[in-house]
A and B are shown apart, each in its own frame.
Chain A
Amino acid sequence: MPAREGTYGLLAEFDTPGDLIRAAQQARKDGWRRMDCYTPYPVEEAAEAIGFHRNKVPLLTLVGGLIGLSAMFALEVWVSVLAYPLNIGGRPLYSWPAFIVPAYEWTILWAGLSAAFGMLALNGLPALYHPLFNAPNFRDGATTDKFFLCLEALDPKFDLVEAKKYLETFQPLSVVEVAY
């Protein structure tokens, strides 16, 4: 893939989560859609403010759990009834109560792996490079104590000069242009 050039977006830095949320809510109200907030810890209100309400992690977890459950139960039945039937004291070959335990463990195993790796996949991680890391103040603050709002250049409303003026009305600590 050829390197992309130009501007990724404009990054406004705030000192408190409250300031960030106010700015994000207003920007959403004013019609901005291609934007994101960056915070050093989960701030649910900021996700709500930019219109991110639901995610698919629970669905993936459910599907993963059901696959684990059925795979292990099917394996147990196939092994115990068809592949290797053992007659121990005349007990039934299809002894489903005993099969619950491994099937239960595999439900949890595959549901848990689906939750963890599904979350990473939906987030597009691992992504060791991202244009935001080029911003001079991003790495110092976003994972420590600062709150960022990024208006992305892909938004149809985006115009470098106008957007910069717009962000400055929220009185951020700084507004910087982020290059690809």
Chain B
Amino acid sequence: MTPSELKHDPDLERRIDPATGEYRVIAPGQTFKSVTEKIVRIVLTPTTPLGWFALFGVGGAVATGLLVAVTWLFLMGVGIWGITQPVAWGFAIINFVWWIGIGHAGTLISAILLLFKQSWRNSINRFAEAMTIFAVVCAGMFPLIHVGRPWLAYWMLPYPNTMTVWPQFRSPLLWDVFAVSTYATISVVFWYIGMVPDFGTMRDRSENKVAQYFYGLVSLGWRGSVRHWARYETASLLLAGLATPLVLSVHTVISFDFAVAVLPGWHTTIFPPYFVAGAIYSGFAMVLTLAIPLRKFYHLEGLVTERHIDNMGKVMLATGFIVAYGYGMEVFMAWYSASHWEAFMMWNRMFGPMGWAYWVLVTCNLAIPLTTLWSRKLRTSIPFMFFISIVVNTGMWFERFVIVVTSLYRDFLPSAWGTYRATKWDYMTYVGTLGLFTALFLLFVRFLPMIPMSEIRTMLPGAKIGPKIGPKITPKPAAKAGD
């Protein structure tokens, strides 16, 4: 699109920032007060929208399904699932990797984009972080319920015990324990510390005693001293700097669960970067899935603009191509390694009894998004981006299905081959976590500030201080002070 074309469209012109030629990060005409009011009113309103109750009812009902499925699992054992030999890692591990991957985009937005000074992220980082935490909640549950005797899951931790046994620190499965628990802890801390100044605003703007008490307590008495802000900014930057290697390490460690095994289809060195890129790809898709209805429902189009949707589309395009490279390399190595087992695995993955899953993955992750996301027109089309986000989320789930199941069910000896069929309890558990995620996210939107007010304020025109600062231009006060 050339600038001359833009001039003829007043609507588009309003949305383009003349300084950069990009879509505006924040719609024009916002002030400190208007932004604060807009975000605070979503939470501090006496009337909750009916739509919220409807959605929360649906999410809660589906989450109840999870409760039922898990209760039955605890009573009966993992035999109610479809897992068997040779596919002992079924839905539980697929869902674990899928959910953790979704969480990674939240950390990427809050940490990596902060380090790169991508200020457009400020509007979306809070709910992307919330998405991370709720995704980790859903993810962390799966390995715990998959161990068979979840009440003994604490055996994974190194602690002195009467059995005098200790964990095996050479196992990637134990590395996972430390990676995922660290990831959950640091994500929660980063999220909470980010909200403290906003809780201060909520405390000061609420008129209701209960809200004042609650937000007063969680704001820790924040009063906005510039000394506090200076330490706060340092701590945020350090947390971002720590979360960046952390997020890369978490999915790397998860890929080690596979790559360290000798199984064809798992035993490959490309897994760490390919898993991390896939995680970010699916995570950005989930951010879009959440952001698009949210901005519409709460009329946040002025804060979460086309620029955000466009930029997220670009990130997805880039990470999508890294994922495509990973798929290509797997196929290439199956041939180039000259390993009979590798070649058979790839043939079986594409054309075996479960070959359809591979083609679903190729369609959803490569064919549809990587051909269309080039177009700026499509990237800024809200319905299309919502559609793409659902497609990519589906595709990335199938990617994990393909990696876990099609590698396991036909390995070296045909006499050891089997198949895998998920049961209704598998589906119920998976769909149940979607309900739990939705319900938690709705609670977040209702009770916590979903857009970081203090960070949005720094991007407003009123925050510009101007170059002419200094005692030079204040001769008048100085002279008066001497009187």
Q: Which residues of A contact B (CB under 8 A)?
A: 16-18, 21-23, 25-26, 29-30, 36-47, 50, 52, 55, 57-58, 61, 65, 72, 75-76, 79-80, 83-84, 86, 88, 91, 95, 98-99, 101-102, 104-106, 108-109, 111-113, 115-116, 118-120, 122-123, 125-130, 132-133, 138-140, 142-145, 166, 169-171
Residue of B229, B253, B473 contacting most chain A CB atoms (<10 Å): B229
**CB within 8 Å for A120 and B469 given contacts A42-B454, A46-B226, A111-B238:** no
Q: Which residues of B contact A116 (CB under 8 A)?
A: 189-190, 193, 235, 239
Asked if B204 contacts A143 (CB within 8 A), the reply is: yes
Q: Which residues of A contact B458 (CB under 8 A)?
A: 41-42
Q: Which residues of B contact A123 (CB under 8 A)?
A: 225, 227-228, 231-232
B151 within 8 A of A: no
B150 within 8 A of A: no
Interface 0/1 of B445-483, CB less than 8 Å to A: 000000000110110001101100111011011101100
Shortest Cβ distance from residue A128 to the other chain B in the assembled complex, whole angstroms: 5
Nearest first, the 4 A-B pairs at minimum CB distance are A145-B32, A119-B235, A126-B220, A84-B166
Shortest Cβ distance from residue B235 to the other chain A in the assembled complex, whole angstroms: 4
Asked if A125 contacts B454 (CB within 8 A), the reply is: no
Partner of B224, one of A21, A22, A39, A105: A39
Residue of A25, A125, A126, A129 contacting most chain B CB atoms (<10 Å): A125
Asked if A105 contacts B220 (CB within 8 A), the reply is: no
Binds A, one of B78-86, B179-187, B372-380: B179-187
Asked if B221 contacts A40 (CB within 8 A), the reply is: no
A39–B465 alpha-carbon span in the complex (Å): 13
Asked if A30 contacts B481 (CB within 8 A), the reply is: yes
Shortest Cβ distance from residue A165 to the other chain B in the assembled complex, whole angstroms: 9
Q: Which residues of B contact A106 (CB under 8 A)?
A: 178, 182
**CB within 8 Å for A91 and B462 given contacts A42-B229, A116-B189:** no
**CB within 8 Å for A115 and B168 given contacts A42-B229, A105-B178:** no
Q: Which residues of A contact B256 (CB under 8 A)?
A: 101
Asked if B226 contacts A79 (CB within 8 A), the reply is: no
Q: Write the chain A residue with the least CB distance to B227.
A: A52
Q: Write the chain B residue with the least CB distance to A16.
A: B462
B264 within 8 A of A: no
Q: Which residues of A contact B477 (CB under 8 A)?
A: 22-23, 26, 169-171
Binds A, one of B61-69, B243-251, B288-296: B243-251
A157–B224 alpha-carbon span in the complex (Å): 25
Partner of A133, one of B223, B238, B454: B223
Q: Which residues of B contact A144 (CB under 8 A)?
A: 32-33, 36, 201, 204-205
B216 within 8 A of A: yes
Q: Which residues of B contact A21 (CB under 8 A)?
A: 465, 469
A112–B111 alpha-carbon span in the complex (Å): 13
* CB < 8 Å A-B pair total: 234
Q: Which residues of B contact A (CB under 8 A)?
A: 31-33, 36, 158, 164-170, 172, 174-175, 178-179, 182, 185-186, 189-190, 193, 196-197, 200-201, 203-205, 216-217, 220-235, 238-239, 242-243, 245-246, 249, 253, 256, 454-455, 457-458, 462-463, 465-466, 469-471, 473-474, 476-478, 480-481
Q: Write the chain A residue with the least CB distance to B232.
A: A119
Asked if A122 contacts B164 (CB within 8 A), the reply is: no
**CB within 8 Å for A125 and B220 given contacts A105-B178, A113-B189, A144-B204:** yes
Shortest Cβ distance from residue A74 to the other chain B in the assembled complex, whole angstroms: 12
Shortest Cβ distance from residue B223 to the other chain A in the assembled complex, whole angstroms: 6
A32–B479 alpha-carbon span in the complex (Å): 17
Asked if B193 contacts A119 (CB within 8 A), the reply is: yes
Q: Which residues of B contact A133 (CB under 8 A)?
A: 223
If over half of A's interface residues share one DSSP class (helix, strand or loop), that class is named, otherwise mixed; here it is: helix
Q: Write the chain B residue with the least CB distance to A29.
A: B471
A94–B361 alpha-carbon span in the complex (Å): 42
**CB within 8 Å for A112 and B226 given contacts A40-B457, A42-B454, A104-B249:** no
Partner of B230, one of A26, A41, A44, A86: A44
Q: Which residues of A contact B243 (CB under 8 A)?
A: 108, 112
A95–B203 alpha-carbon span in the complex (Å): 53
A43–B460 alpha-carbon span in the complex (Å): 13
**CB within 8 Å for A129 and B178 given contacts A105-B249, A143-B204, A145-B31:** no
Q: Write the chain A residue with the least CB distance to B482.
A: A30
A49–B457 alpha-carbon span in the complex (Å): 21
Q: Which residues of A contact B31 (CB under 8 A)?
A: 145
Partner of A143, one of B224, B227, B471: B224
**CB within 8 Å for A143 and B232 given contacts A26-B478, A76-B169:** no
Partner of A42, one of B33, B168, B216, B232: B232
Asked if B226 contacts A47 (CB within 8 A), the reply is: yes
Extra 12 A-B pairs, beta carbons < 8 Å, given A127-B221, A143-B205, A169-B480: A22-B469, A26-B471, A40-B201, A57-B235, A84-B166, A98-B169, A101-B178, A102-B178, A105-B182, A112-B239, A128-B217, A132-B223
Chain A to chain B contacts (Cβ below 8 Å), 19 pairs: A26-B477, A30-B478, A30-B481, A41-B458, A42-B232, A43-B465, A55-B231, A57-B234, A61-B235, A79-B166, A91-B170, A98-B169, A101-B175, A123-B225, A128-B217, A130-B221, A139-B204, A143-B200, A144-B32
Q: Which residues of A contact B201 (CB under 8 A)?
A: 40, 143-144
Q: Which residues of A contact B186 (CB under 8 A)?
A: 108-109, 112-113
